[in-house]
Structure 1
Amino acid sequence: MQFTQRTAQSTSLVMSGHMQQAIALLQLSNTDIQSYIEKEAEENPFIDVAAPARALPSLPQSGGAIEGDDPASRMADHPLSLYGHVAAQFDSLFADPHRRVIADRFLEGIDANGWLCDPLEDIAADCGLGLPEAEEMLRIIQTVEPAGLFARSLAECLGLQAEERGMMTPLFRAILANLPRLAAADLTGLARVCGCTMDELRAALKELRSLNPKPGADFDLGELNEREPDLIVTRGASGWQVELNRSTLPAVQVDEARAAEITRDPATRDYVGERLGVARWLRRAVEHRNQTTLAVGAEIVRRQSAFLEHGPSHIAPMTLADVAAAVGVHESTVSRVTTGILIVTPQGTLGLKRFFSTALPGKAGGTEGGASAAAVRHRIQRLVAAEDPARPLNDADIASAISEGGPTLARRTVAKYRDMLNIPSSFQRKRRARLDAV
């Protein structure tokens, strides 16, 4: 063994701070970009944030003209959210400001269904209450309308509604205590543990089905607080067109005149040069991000024109590599750009990631002529929705039905996609249908 020294020249790409920031900008949505620019403008006197160029248009519903979005009219027509509905009742229910603040902590703990998802122990600790005091406070809060809000379990949610309607009989209470047997469709065992006849049980179950297990789901979920889409698809004279949603994306402007005026002072020349360089880089980085996002979005729309025309069952197979090769960027760039980006289409507002789907084998065994996995999953949903509840389709039936007019599909593939869609098995669906028929 011996040690030797050699000198050689090589080139390598080193990730500078600006390059890392530029890559990070590719992953941001329009709303996040706006927040980032505004934050930079607070620290850099040479960055001006221009106002949005235009409002977001709404897609025509029946061939009508596209009209500008009017936030004031949307606010006037917007239904009251669950949070606002409950908060209005708290205003009259709790006159004491301290108790009103505690009630707000309970309100922060409910989910979209109206259930209390935060543990009561955590709420009590946050509010400085003992557990008995928190229990008493919860009992008062659970008197709000509609009944069933702030429940901690399905049995409690249905029980609150039964109490409010005067339906809480000993039989009804026994049913709520044995909901797992009801979920398993074990009606004989449920009648036995409740000490009732099958006719009495059927009558009680009919009343049970009139209750709402998700009382908060009937309220608006706060649509105004959801961020606007980043890309907009419209049909033009030459076909489908894509543009950036400028209503949420401010332009970056550099105050060159102010910089030139301040640069005359030698004491501030270094600071001005450094800040001005950052401002110019940010302008270029945002423009590059917008151009890349627009190019990727346009290529996706070009490949998915059948989806725009006919819906989810016509999503074409498409991979990140396909789009990257067409746009002329790296596959990782497409992945970053499509992360978190929303696009509004005639078929609804979707994330760009939803359009990427692998191709399933066609009749000849290859991917040529095969459908995308996303389109097949949509067909599975439609087949299950249209099936006879008393005779649901099993996985083999679904695979055979899809394979007749589309790609070759194995039973295990149907089972995998069914699990992804949270669709129960044919046995579970049949059991549920039998339970609903009682």
Structure 2
Amino acid sequence: MQLQTSQHFGQRQSLVVTAQLQRAICLLQMTNTDLQGFIEKEAEENPFLDMKVREKLTPEARRELAASGPSGGVKAPASDFDFLEMRVAARPPSLYAHVSDQFNVMFPDPRERAMAEVFLEALEPSGWLGDELDLLAQRAGLDPEAADAFLARVQQVEPAGLFARSLAECLELQARDKGWLSAEFAALLANLDKLAAADLKGLSRACSCTPETLRTQMKRLRSLDPKPGAQFDAPTDNQRSPDLIVRKSAEGWLVDLNRSTLPTVVIDDASARQMNRTEAREFVSDRLSSARWLRRAIEHRNKTSLQIGAEIARRQTAFLEHGPAHIRPMILRDVAEAVGVHESTVSRVTSGLMMATPQGTFPLKTFFSAALGTSDDDANGSAAAVRHRIQQLVRDEPADAPLSDDAIARIITSEGTELARRTVAKYRDMLKIKSSFQRRREALLNGAA
């Protein structure tokens, strides 16, 4: 066997993912807030790099604008400001602070105030007592009988229902405060298991009352709060400011970047020129190059985001005009081909950005929805529009006759979008809508059926 060597020449293309390319890809999916943090971190390592964000209104100007009302004549200054921040109400006191202030008045004696603090430390965010009474009695130096009496004093704080040890006790405290604690209501509290099972006949027998009286007591029970402490420490809905803003003008729908939160890269060329005269030229050149690249990358990110947002607005004009029920079917490829970028670029840009529209503020992902089969060329046959229609049907259904999945499927199919029962069930689960049986039982408990 004879062996010999040979050489072959050819060309091929390959993409090398450099560190800068990786950073540029990350920039595409950053929100304005994330971008601010990224630039701040880069500025810590680069003496020639800084960040600038447009100033918001001063507190005085914000109060003046709020006082003018929706149609007031006060004109905002040239700089942008955050309407969301302007409308954020003052944060209420915490549950601990609220109860502590009452204890300062209820227990002027230092020793009793110290015992009350033991109970306050065991108060859970729901408003219930988190530890057993025997354990609290030991911590406070009380015997069991004195602990019961002291708990009754502690439970007099407002709102009623705090420091309860069970659901029944929590509701009982509130009913007593309202003067509702009749024999029928007490019997209802003693049979909450029957109430959960919607056993109205069994409840009537247990409460020794007529169905009409039982419904009155149930209506009162529903008005009570099973977790009275949750209203103090409930998580706030901190929806961040949008990255893109859509508004209507004489020329049509316009999309712009939210300049009030969009950071701008600032390069200190004067300091760089001064340091460039010293022996640190290599360092200066490297840092300047990095800062200029970052500025170009952010400009490209902003341009790409604006192009994609504008294309989404162009395709979803019906939504902007009429609401979620008119979202058109749209996939990533549609926008990518129109803008002239890869689908992955559209996916990254729309993964985290928010857009403010006349219909509300939505993630860009909201506007992408697969098309469903339709009996005609109706453009509203998107999955998102169908989900919205399901919500409408359930919201408007008679309480005593909730629509089954089959009935919903028939209604939507008759409107032009072919829909199967299993698809309705899938969308209903996605929307966290209960089944018709569960909705029927809730209506029965609420006295609407």
TM-score of the superposed pair, with normalisation by structure 2: 0.76
Q: Using the TM superposition, give the Cα deviation of residue 94 of structure 1 relative to its aligned residue in structure 2, in angstroms.
A: 6.4
Contact 1:233 1:345 in 2 (8 A): yes
Q: Distance in 2 between matches of 1:186 and 1:4?
A: 92
69, 84, 87: which one pairs with 2:93? 84
Gaps of 5+ in 1: 122-128
Contact 1:86 1:144 in 2 (8 A): no
Map 1:277-426; keep pairs closer than 5 Å.
277-363=289-375, 369=379, 371-426=381-436
Residues 152-211 of structure 1 deviation map (CA, whole Å, 9 limit, x = unaligned): 97656534533543545675455445434323311123345x453345543432321221
Contact 1:53 1:250 in 2 (8 A): no
Residues 187-236 of structure 1 deviation map (CA, whole Å, 9 limit, x = unaligned): 123345x453345543432321221346556999646x542111111111
Residues 262-293 of structure 1 deviation map (CA, whole Å, 9 limit, x = unaligned): 12111x22222222222112111111111111
Relative to structure 1, is the Cα distance of residues 211 and 336 closer, same or farther in structure 2, using a 3 angstrom cutoff?
same
Contact 1:360 1:373 in 2 (8 A): yes
Relative to structure 1, is the Cα distance of residues 25 and 407 closer, same or farther in structure 2, using a 3 angstrom cutoff?
same
Relative to structure 1, is the Cα distance of residues 98 and 42 closer, same or farther in structure 2, using a 3 angstrom cutoff?
farther
Contact 2:354 2:364 in 1 (8 A): yes
2:219 aligned partner: 206
Q: Distance in 2 between matches of 1:343 and 1:174?
A: 53
SS at match of 1:248: coil
Relative to structure 1, is the Cα distance of residues 73 and 433 closer, same or farther in structure 2, using a 3 angstrom cutoff?
closer
Q: Using the TM superposition, give the Cα deviation of residue 359 of structure 1 relative to its aligned residue in structure 2, in angstroms.
A: 0.7
Q: Which of these two proteins has the greater Rg computed from alpha carbons? A: 2
Relative to structure 1, is the Cα distance of residues 70 and 369 closer, same or farther in structure 2, using a 3 angstrom cutoff?
closer
Residues 53-99 of structure 1 deviation map (CA, whole Å, 9 limit, x = unaligned): 777x99xx999999647669965x75443x43646525624669999
Contact 2:275 2:284 in 1 (8 A): yes
Q: Distance in 1 between matches of 2:358 and 2:166?
A: 39
Moved more, 228-237 or 195-204: 195-204
Q: Using the TM superposition, give the Cα deviation of residue 24 of structure 1 relative to its aligned residue in structure 2, in angstroms.
A: 1.2
Residue 279 of structure 1 aligns with an amino acid whose one-letter code is A
Residue 373 of structure 2 aligns with an amino acid whose one-letter code is P
Residue 244 of structure 2 aligns with an amino acid whose one-letter code is L
Map 1:254-293; keep pairs closer than 5 Å.
254-266=267-279, 268-293=280-305
Q: Using the TM superposition, give the Cα deviation of residue 295 of structure 1 relative to its aligned residue in structure 2, in angstroms.
A: 0.9
Q: Distance in 2 between matches of 1:99 and 1:323?
A: 65
Q: Using the TM superposition, give the Cα deviation of residue 33 of structure 1 relative to its aligned residue in structure 2, in angstroms.
A: 0.7
2:14 aligned partner: 12
Contact 1:53 1:246 in 2 (8 A): no
Residue 270 of structure 2 aligns with an amino acid whose one-letter code is A
Q: Using the TM superposition, give the Cα deviation of residue 101 of structure 1 relative to its aligned residue in structure 2, in angstroms.
A: 11
Q: Using the TM superposition, give the Cα deviation of residue 405 of structure 1 relative to its aligned residue in structure 2, in angstroms.
A: 2.1
1:126 aligned partner: none
Q: Distance in 1 between matches of 2:157 and 2:340?
A: 58
Contact 1:54 1:246 in 2 (8 A): no
Gaps of 5+ in 2: 105-109, 141-146
Q: Distance in 2 between matches of 1:144 and 1:7?
A: 89
2:266 aligned partner: 253
1:433 aligned partner: 443
Contact 1:90 1:100 in 2 (8 A): no
Q: Distance in 2 between matches of 1:51 and 1:346?
A: 25
Moved more, 183-192 or 90-99: 90-99
Q: Using the TM superposition, give the Cα deviation of residue 348 of structure 1 relative to its aligned residue in structure 2, in angstroms.
A: 0.8
Q: Distance in 2 between matches of 1:64 and 1:318?
A: 40
Q: Using the TM superposition, give the Cα deviation of residue 239 of structure 1 relative to its aligned residue in structure 2, in angstroms.
A: 0.4
Map 1:91-170; keep pairs closer than 5 Å.
92-93=101-102, 110=125, 115=126, 145-148=158-161, 158-168=171-181
Q: Using the TM superposition, give the Cα deviation of residue 395 of structure 1 relative to its aligned residue in structure 2, in angstroms.
A: 1.8
Contact 1:80 1:219 in 2 (8 A): no
Residues 370-406 of structure 1 deviation map (CA, whole Å, 9 limit, x = unaligned): 6111111111111222222222222222222212222
**1:231 is the counterpart of 2:244:** yes
Identity of aligned residues (%): 51
Contact 1:52 1:248 in 2 (8 A): yes
Relative to structure 1, is the Cα distance of residues 203 and 363 closer, same or farther in structure 2, using a 3 angstrom cutoff?
closer
Aligned length: 413
* Aligned-CA RMSD value: 4.3
Contact 2:81 2:260 in 1 (8 A): no
Q: Distance in 2 between matches of 1:276 and 1:352?
A: 34
30, 43, 46: which one pairs with 1:44? 46
Q: Distance in 2 between matches of 1:205 and 1:40?
A: 61
Q: Distance in 2 between matches of 1:138 and 1:47?
A: 61
Residue 264 of structure 1 aligns with an amino acid whose one-letter code is R
Contact 1:320 1:334 in 2 (8 A): yes
Contact 1:315 1:372 in 2 (8 A): yes
Contact 1:317 1:371 in 2 (8 A): yes
Q: Distance in 2 between matches of 1:65 and 1:299?
A: 34
Relative to structure 1, is the Cα distance of residues 155 and 277 closer, same or farther in structure 2, using a 3 angstrom cutoff?
farther
Q: Distance in 2 between matches of 1:99 and 1:325?
A: 70
